[in-house]
A and B are shown apart, each in its own frame.
Chain A
Amino acid sequence: MAQVIASRRAAVSGTAVRTRKKRPFLLDLYSTAVGKKYAMGISGIALMGFVLFHMIGNLKMYQGASDLDNYAEFLKKLLYPLAPKESVLWILRSGLLAMLILHLHAAWSLTVMNRRARPTRYQSPRDYQVANFASRTMRWTGIIVLAFVAWHLADLTFGVANTVGTDGEFVRANVYDNVVRSFERVPVALFYVVANVLLGIHLYHGAWSIFQTFGWNRPRFNRWSRAFATGFAAVVVVANVSFPVAVLAGIVG
């Protein structure tokens, strides 16, 4: 009467047996959910690094237009003249893009896997005990932040979503002016604030998850991993949200 999940059932052996075929070990690692979580964590760290340094760089807008514009120029000249102009920047950009794609691919395939693991949902409401808003909305906060990044690039890098400057043109190098013109539009500033709060929620769970996923688990340090994630998320959100607020309040501009 009891039905059996009969797929490829072999005799129980004395030694742990792997039935899977051998492949290059990084691919082998990535083929499992645990491996994909490592990919999530590693790419997450890379993206967190970007978010942190992007925020620190933007703080220069409080020092005035020339500081921020010069900083943008400096980024193009990383390691110059040892390396050609913009070369290091493009290496960083391609690394970041690769990490973003890895993060998205792992998230997508794990989501598909999870949906398949429970095709019929519970027919009565669940009473979650410890899963929090952040952990339950990772997909949504992630997607909205991704959409924000696309808008953000269109706004301040490509200029297509920005308003033109006094000379009737969008000049990318005039970072300070572009930022001020962008945030003077209240809906844009609002979208920016909302997206950054969602990013903070994403980081609150993601930054903590890294420790658990990587097995960095020491009784003595465990409470620090939660503190780190909360602190990191808070610092990024507070600093990032301060920019549009400062523009609207007239402190920057």
Chain B
Amino acid sequence: MSNVLTNITLRIWRQAGPAVAGRFETHVVDEITDEASFLEMLDILNDRLVTEGKEAVVFDHDCREGICGTCSLMIDGQAHGPQRGTTTCQLHMRRFKSGDTITIEPWRASAFPIIKDLMVDRSAFDRVIESGGFITAETGGAPDANLIPVPKPVSDAAMDSAACIGCGACVAACPNGAANLFTGAKIAHLNRLPQGQAERWGRVESMVETMDEHFGSCTNHGECEAACPKEISIDVIALMNKDYRKAKFASRKDLARQ
């Protein structure tokens, strides 16, 4: 059975553009079903704003099923809101109570400049990904599925890292604005697999160094792990640190025998 929440006060960050000052704007949603997702609640608010001749609140969203990494939002001081392991689009109003005041802010990091209102530019993540190159895999005839044996625990661990949707919640939640969880996940995803070994040291070096150009540094708070909608463990940061050290010390000639 659905219930109806009443009298929800929203404090939403409004900012006309990257270079102008922003401010919180208060809107009251009189009635909303608890089956509405958080973004649907914003859609309903936007419909009303447009009808009233006001400007709609700009926010990022796409798949709305928690797999694309487009939605963001700092909700009541938590990236993707109060529900663990959940993106904003999968957060539902049943997590809130009638009469609640909800504060919504964009991700804040110098690497994620605000485009408008709640929408930020996350291209810095693309720079990190680009610097890692891609796996120079054979693209001839389709190889046999088991041509390269991958132990089950390895593929599971690589898959856990590959679950990263690149939403930026780790950076947003980090008190230092560091992207170690994101970069660590991308590195762990490829460096754990046999197919990723050929460029293992070069990948970790260039991705870590590109990350440095845009983001802060890790102080092991663990806030990223708590905020990650895919619940990626900070173990990937440890793995990145280890591989970065090894990349500096190891001989590239011995890559095949590590």
Contact = CB atoms under 8 A, between A and B. Distances in A.
Interface of A: 1-5, 7, 9-10, 12-20, 25, 28-29, 32-38, 110, 113-114, 116-131, 135-136, 138, 205, 208-209, 211-217
B206 A118 contact: no
A215 B211 CA distance: 18
Contacts of A12: 130, 133-134
A97 B145 CA distance: 57
B108 A120 contact: yes
B53 to A, nearest CB: 22
A250 to B, nearest CB: 43
B33 interface: no
A123 B13 contact: yes
Contacts of A18: 131, 202, 205-206, 209
B221 A4 contact: no
A43 B76 CA distance: 38
B97 interface: no
A16 B127 contact: no
A135 B211 CA distance: 22
B175 A131 contact: yes
A131 B209 contact: no
Interface stretch (B39-47, B62-70, B240-248): B240-248
| Most chain B CB neighbours (cut-off 10 Å) among A14, A18, A118, A217 | A118
B212 interface: yes
Contacts of A33: 178, 211-212, 216-218
Contacts of A118: 108-110, 176-177, 216
B208 A32 contact: yes
A15 B135 CA distance: 8
A191 B5 CA distance: 53
B91 interface: no
A21 B70 CA distance: 34
B99 interface: no
A204 to B, nearest CB: 12
A128 B115 CA distance: 26
Given A14-B136, A16-B203, A3 B220 contact: no
B194 interface: no
Interface in B184-236: 199, 202-203, 205-223, 225-227, 234-235
Interface residues on B, range: 35 or more
A126 B205 CA distance: 33
Contacts of B244: 32, 34-35
A129 B133 contact: no
B124 interface: yes
Contacts of A117: 109-111, 176-178, 214-217
Contacts of B248: 25, 28-29, 35
Contacts of A216: 238, 242
Interface string B133-157: 1101000000000000000000000
Given A32-B244, A124-B103, 4 more contacts: A12-B134, A25-B249, A117-B215, A124-B77
Contacts of A5: 111, 113, 121, 123-124, 127, 214
Nearest to A132: B221
A127 B78 contact: yes
A156 to B, nearest CB: 32
In this complex, the member of A10, A126, A128, A129 whose beta carbon has the largest number of chain B beta carbons within 10 angstroms is A129
Contacts of A113: 176, 216-217
Given A5-B113, A119-B110, A212-B237, A138 B209 contact: no
B216 A129 contact: no
B117 interface: no
Nearest to A206: B220
B162 interface: no
22 contacts: A9-B127, A12-B130, A16-B133, A16-B203, A16-B206, A19-B131, A25-B248, A33-B178, A34-B212, A113-B217, A114-B178, A114-B216, A114-B217, A117-B216, A118-B177, A123-B22, A129-B223, A130-B226, A211-B238, A214-B241, A216-B242, A217-B235
B215 A135 contact: no
B241 A3 contact: no
B35 to A, nearest CB: 25
Contacts of A124: 11, 24, 74, 76-77, 103, 105
A34 B220 CA distance: 12
A138 B217 CA distance: 14
A13 to B, nearest CB: 6
